[in-house]
Amino acid sequence: MYNILRKLYSQYLKFKFRKLGVFDNSVDFSKHTSLKLIDGSRKDDIVIGSKCRIYCSLITQSGGKIFIEDNVKIGHHSIIGSVKNILIKKGTAIADGVKIFDNNNHPIHPEDRLKMYNSPWDSPYRKWKFSVSKPIIIGENVWIGQGVRINKGVTIGDNSIIASGAIVTKDVPANAIAAGNPAKIVKTDIQNEPRTL
Ligand SMILES: CC(C)(COP(=O)(O)OP(=O)(O)OC[C@H]1O[C@@H](n2cnc3c(N)ncnc32)[C@H](O)[C@@H]1OP(=O)(O)O)[C@@H](O)C(=O)NCCC(=O)NCCS
């Protein structure tokens, strides 16, 4: 019974989100999912591949792109925010409470921040386009642990793991584990680790 109700609710969410992103009927959403198009962003700025499970918030401002390939899972209370370009490749698993932003959110210069903070909530100066932004690429079969933040400009190579709680400010190569704040590489060549399955 629970599974039937869950599927019906997921169908309702697909109906609700159909004007806010591009996805097919195999995608699963939950009550925690939200898709937001702000400051001129359009439906085709959020593209979600087949068989994805998207339980997070996807936010695009000013035409920022969020492209998620097939079979990606993103957990509850995670937020992906784009004003530039975020690509998440196939088979990647992103845990709960992860934040991925391709921009600084706020300007760096103190006078610019004052101007932003003194502007009303609906002012254009509140938008991410006035902060530094750089594209993010997350490779195939990456595993991002709980509570991670990935900052602008980062590329994460295929098969790598980001340890829970890490703040990633620099690129991570393929088949590596990165941990800490700021994240450092703590293990490489994990394709040579013993198999446990
Ligand atoms: C603080 C911040 C705005 C700085 O941005 P910036 O001036 O563009 O800084 P850079 O990205 O050029 O990084 C400068 C250095 O600080 C390091 N760094 C940046 N952010 C860091 C962080 N959160 N933790 C640890 N180190 C960090 C970088 O690795 C870099 O190190 P290096 O000098 O050894 O190369 C940004 O990194 C940040 O933390 N943004 C998130 C803000 C936030 O919490 N937003 C939520 C909504 S308001």
- Residue 10 domain-assigned (yes or no): yes
pLDDT of the residue at 67:
98
Tens of pLDDT along 18-36? 999 999 999 999 999 999 9
Determine whether the shortest distance from the Cβ of 104 to ligand 1 is under 6 A.
yes
Of 32, 76, 77, 106, the active-site residue reads 106
In a domain, 138, yes or no: yes
Beta bridge partners of 113: none
CATH number at residue 181: 2.160.10.10
Q: Residue 139 C-alpha to ligand 1 middle, in angstroms?
A: 22
Residue 98 included in any domain? yes
**Domain hosting residue 76, numbered range:** 2-187
pTM, two decimals, is 0.96
- Testing ligand 1's pocket by substitution, the residue of 151, 154, 185 carrying the most ligand atoms inside 8 A of its CB is 151
pLDDT category at 52 given cuts 50, 70, 90 is very high
Q: What is the mean pLDDT of the chain?
A: 97
Task: Report the alpha-carbon distance of residue 32 to residue 126 in Å, rounded.
Answer: 25
The residues near 83 (Cβ < 8 Å, ≥ 6 apart) are 60, 61, 62, 63, 64, 102, 103, 127, 128, 129, 131, 133
Assess if residue 177 is contained within a domain.
yes
Q: What average pLDDT does range 44-57 have in this prediction? A: 98
**Quick check: is 192 in a domain?**
no
pLDDT tens digits along 108-141: 999 999 999 999 999 999 999 999 999 999 999 9
Residue 196, in any domain of the structure: no
pLDDT, residue 2, reads 82
Total domains in the fold of the chain: 1
Shortest-distance Cα residue to atom 42 of ligand 1: 104
Going through the chain in order, the beta strands assigned E by DSSP cover: 28-29, 34-38, 46-48, 53-54, 57-61, 65-68, 73-74, 79-82, 85-88, 93-94, 99-101, 136-138, 143-144, 149-150, 155-156, 161-162, 167-168, 177-179, 184-187
Ligand 1, atom 7, residue with closest C-alpha: 108
What is the pLDDT averaged over residues 61-67?
98
pLDDT digits (tens, 9 = 90+) for 144-153: 999 999 999 9
- Using a 6 Å cutoff on CB, does residue 1 contact ligand 1? no
Q: Is it the case that residue 188 has pLDDT exceeding 90? A: yes
- Residue 197 resides in a domain: no
Nearest Cα neighbor of 138 from 157, 153, 151, 152 is 157
Per-residue pLDDT for 7 more than 90? no
Task: Give distance in angstroms: CA of 169 to centre of ligand 1.
Answer: 7
Distance (angstroms) between ligand 1 centre and the Cα of 144 equals 19
Residue 193 lies in a domain: no
Give the closest residue to 88 by CA, choosing from 52, 112, 124: 52
